[in-house]
Structure 1
Amino acid sequence: SHFGSSHVGSSLLTVPPATAFLPRHRPRSSSSTMASTLEYQDPRAVQSLVSDLKMLAAYETAADWREQKAMDSAFSALSWDDAAVKAALPEYIASSGTERAKVDYAFNAMVPRPPADIDGKQAAMHTWIKARLFSYNKAFPLQFNPYGK
């Protein structure tokens, strides 16, 4: 058996470099994924988005259990003081067309459930996170087709 042999050079034991798994038809661009681009440009961007999504999930879970204190805590913990999102909020609300569609598509991929009709705080959280994505899209345009230009 090759597995028990001490031949380190055996093709069964050789690990190809990570680049061997990348598509050969074109080089991988640094902007191929939103997260890797954001992480390269600003490591806090991904952390802030994930933190907001966690607070949204915590809020929705608390709402399912009718835990008002936990709902309030999660709502308060959202990144309401983020100046970049504050600046992007009116721009997102006023936006339409392709840029808004890209942001809404990205948000709906991460948060598939719409906010409850009666929950204004949940809707505000959704809009805030969409404004965050809008600010990211302005700085680093979202790309959803990995084979597109």
Structure 2
Amino acid sequence: MTPTNRLSKLVKATAKLPQGIRSRLWSKVFGRVVPMVGSAHIRYLEVSHDKVVVKIENHRAMQNHIGQVHACAMALIAETATGFVTGMNVSDSCIVLIKSLKVDFKRPSKGAMIATATLTDEQQKLMQNTEKGETLVSVQVTDESGEEPVQCEMLWAWVSKSQLKN
């Protein structure tokens, strides 16, 4: 059985709701917890202990000078998906922190963007059973064509909240 924290309990509590309502609810709640996520209108499509999928539409506020999703918005959805899948697994006594991110832009994007972050069983167990650690979280960022205009690497760390006070 997978250990739970406050974030995973919230996700579990919404499990019986229809997908559309669940997605809107997660997006609203998580957008209040992380205001930038709310301002960007990121939608949470799927949230579990091993996978988080988020979407950003190609709306005016998130566009660059040529009408595509801005480079920073692409990095934001990769960071958001990987951060939330990490957050689903660490103890409430810990805090998650991004340690490094790398984004390589491969080609122009087309339309909305989706980031899919995944964790292996081993990564989940490490997060659930240790008070401090780090791991490279896999993420795929695709556009409406199904292609990957960017490739990202996100290194996440977690530490005990008590360690931050020292």
What TM-score bracket applies, with the shorter chain setting the length?
under 0.3
Write 1 or 2 for the structure with the bigger share of strand: 2
Structure 2 length normalisation: TM-score? 0.23
TM-score by length of 1: 0.25
Larger radius of gyration: 1
Comparing both structures, which one devotes a greater share of its residues to helix?
1
Query: Higher relative contact order at CA 8 Å, sep ≥6: structure 1 or structure 2?
Result: 1
